[in-house]
């Protein structure tokens, strides 16, 4: 994200918060909007995806105290009419004195703490073109790629990770990155301005983080839904039962298994899936009838007695095909 974009966009308005909002209020507003416009909750809606990116960009700037301070300085100059976001020279350009108030170049350099932010800003405004004695057009730094691996639970709840970046010819540095709740395995997250520094004091590039999510021992994921295989006994499947089922986002829930439930039957537990937009997906619980590997003599006698009492074959329809095949081949 360029500082030219900082001039054009009011990130406080994007998140719907006041400039005096606390870090907690900014985070709360971001989470609400990110859930509302998340691509998983608005599949095939490019406007929602664009809004999600805009909200994420706004939070990337306002969540970092240092970046927020520089952004506020730029916005203060915009409000004062010091410069505008149009083309250079003429009405609406980034020239000084628009609205009857002149701002000297030296004053702008002081505002940005010795001129570094100032040169970054105008390097963006003039498209990185030939540099002048004022420092215009300094080249942007390169983008970087890295990867991080997080737990399945952290992918559902969101987590902050520390990334160690090692660039050629420079010392390693550590960057804190926020991984949003509901992130998918293989997702690519952009950290604006966290890439390589620009040459000669130019603006930095961006850092792209590929997220790997470790598999969970019991839970799986299918889009916005979580999945769980639930072993049950033959008696529970045949007679019915109420079974406590674990969830990732809260305590266990009771699931009613009706009598006569077949192995492979899937039940849906509402709101216990992955975060998606303003809501959460569901938990899909698939019943698996567990067959004991060993039976005591008494248990074997009871199963044999059950077979005598229930002689009907569950394969009656298939048996007809078998008999038909025999007649054809005979």
Q: What's 92's domain CATH number?
A: 1.10.287.110
Listed residues 189, 213, 237: the one ending a domain: 213
pLDDT greater at residue 98 or residue 51:
51
In a domain, 161, yes or no: yes
In a domain, 327, yes or no: no
> Among 1-15, 28-42, 139-153, 206-220, whose mean pLDDT is lowest?
1-15
Both 249 and 206 in one domain: the answer is no
Listed residues 159, 185, 213: the one ending a domain: 213
State the pLDDT at residue 269: 96
Both 280 and 297 in one domain: the answer is yes
State the pLDDT at residue 234: 92
Both 96 and 80 in one domain: the answer is yes
Q: How confident is the model at residue 82 (pLDDT cuts 50, 70, 90)?
A: low
Task: Give me the half-sphere count of Cα atoms (radius 13 Å) on the Cβ side of residue 284.
Answer: 13
Average pLDDT of the residues in 62-77:
84
pLDDT greater at residue 89 or residue 172:
172
Element (H, E) at 146: strand 144-150
State the pLDDT at residue 200: 82
In a domain, 114, yes or no: yes
Both 238 and 188 in one domain: the answer is no
Q: Residue 178 pLDDT more than 50?
A: yes
Both 190 and 232 in one domain: the answer is no
Residue with tokens 């590997």: 293
In a domain, 316, yes or no: no
Q: What's 229's domain CATH number?
A: 2.60.260.20
Average pLDDT of the residues in 113-121:
44
State the pLDDT at residue 65: 85
Both 60 and 24 in one domain: the answer is yes
Q: How confident is the model at residue 80 (pLDDT cuts 50, 70, 90)?
A: low
Q: How confident is the model at residue 79 (pLDDT cuts 50, 70, 90)?
A: confident
Domain count of the fold of the chain: 3
Both 74 and 96 in one domain: the answer is yes
In a domain, 67, yes or no: yes
Both 115 and 46 in one domain: the answer is yes
The pairing of beta strand 241-245 with beta strand 225-232:
unpaired
* CA quadruple 7, 11, 17, 23: dihedral sign: negative
Average pLDDT of the residues in 60-69:
86
In a domain, 84, yes or no: yes
**Which DSSP string corresponds to 17-49?**
--TT--HHHHHHHHHHHHHHH-GGGSTT-HHHH
State the pLDDT at residue 4: 61
Range from 63-77, 120-134, 180-194 that averages highest in pLDDT: 180-194
In a domain, 324, yes or no: no
State the pLDDT at residue 289: 95
Q: Residue 185 pLDDT more than 90?
A: yes
pLDDT tens, position by position, 248-295? 877 899 999 999 999 999 999 999 999 887 788 999 999 999 999 999
Listed residues 213, 242, 264: the one ending a domain: 213
Both 228 and 282 in one domain: the answer is yes
**Which DSSP string corresponds to 158-200?**
-EEEEEEE--TTS--EEEEEEEPTTPPTT-EEEETT-SPPPGG
Both 30 and 121 in one domain: the answer is yes
pLDDT tens, position by position, 5-47? 677 788 999 999 998 899 999 999 998 888 888 877 777 788 8
Average pLDDT of the residues in 39-67:
83
State the pLDDT at residue 103: 43
Sequence-ordered list of residues with C-beta below 8 angstroms from that of 159, at least 6 positions apart, any chain: 150, 151, 179
Residues in the chain: 330
Return mean pLDDT, the chain.
80
Phi, psi of 126 (to 5 degrees): -95, 15
Q: Residue 85 pLDDT more than 80?
A: no
Both 267 and 162 in one domain: the answer is no
Q: Are 156 and 272 in contact (CB under 8 A)?
A: no
In a domain, 180, yes or no: yes
Task: Give me the half-sphere count of Cα atoms (radius 13 Å) on the Cβ side of residue 300.
Answer: 5
Nearest CA-CA partner of 62 in 51, 49, 75, 50: 75
Q: Residue 202 pLDDT more than 60?
A: yes
pTM of the model: 0.56
Domain housing 229? 219-309
Both 96 and 149 in one domain: the answer is no
């Amino acid at each position: 994200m360029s500082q030219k974009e900082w001039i054009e966009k009011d990130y406080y308005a994007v998140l719907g918060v006041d400039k005096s909002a606390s870090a907690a209020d900014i985070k709360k507003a971001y989470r609400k909007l990110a859930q509302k416009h998340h691509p998983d909750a608005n599949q095939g809606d490019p406007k929602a995806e664009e809004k999600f990116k805009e909200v994420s960009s706004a939070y990337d700037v306002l969540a970092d105290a240092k970046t927020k301070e520089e952004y506020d300085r730029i916005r203060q100059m915009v409000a004062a009419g010091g410069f505008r976001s149009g083309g250079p020279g003429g009405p609406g350009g980034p020239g000084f004195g628009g609205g009857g108030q002149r701002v000297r170049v030296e004053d702008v350099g002081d505002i940005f703490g010795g001129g570094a932010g100032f040169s970054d800003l105008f390097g963006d405004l003039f498209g990185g073109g030939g540099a002048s004695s004022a420092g215009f057009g300094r080249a942007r730094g390169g983008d970087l790629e890295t990867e991080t691996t997080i737990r399945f639970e952290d992918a559902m709840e969101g987590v902050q990770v520390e990334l160690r970046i090692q660039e050629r010819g420079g010392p390693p540095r550590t960057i804190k990155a926020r991984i949003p709740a509901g992130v998918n395995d293989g997702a690519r997250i952009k950290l604006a301005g966290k890439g390589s520094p620009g040459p000669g004091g130019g603006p930095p590039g961006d850092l792209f983080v590929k997220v790997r999510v470790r598999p969970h021992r019991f839970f799986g994921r299918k889009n916005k839904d979580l999945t769980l295989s639930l072993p049950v006994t033959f008696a529970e499947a045949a007679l019915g039962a109420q079974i406590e089922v674990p969830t990732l986002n809260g305590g266990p829930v009771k699931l009613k298994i009706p009598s006569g439930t077949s192995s492979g039957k899937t039940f849906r537990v509402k709101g216990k899936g992955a975060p998606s937009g303003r809501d959460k997906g569901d938990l899909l619980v698939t019943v698996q009838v567990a067959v004991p590997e060993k039976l005591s003599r008494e248990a074997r006698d009871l199963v044999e007695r059950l077979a005598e009492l229930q002689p009907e074959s569950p394969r009656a329809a298939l048996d007809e095909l078998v008999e038909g095949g025999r007649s054809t081949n005979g």
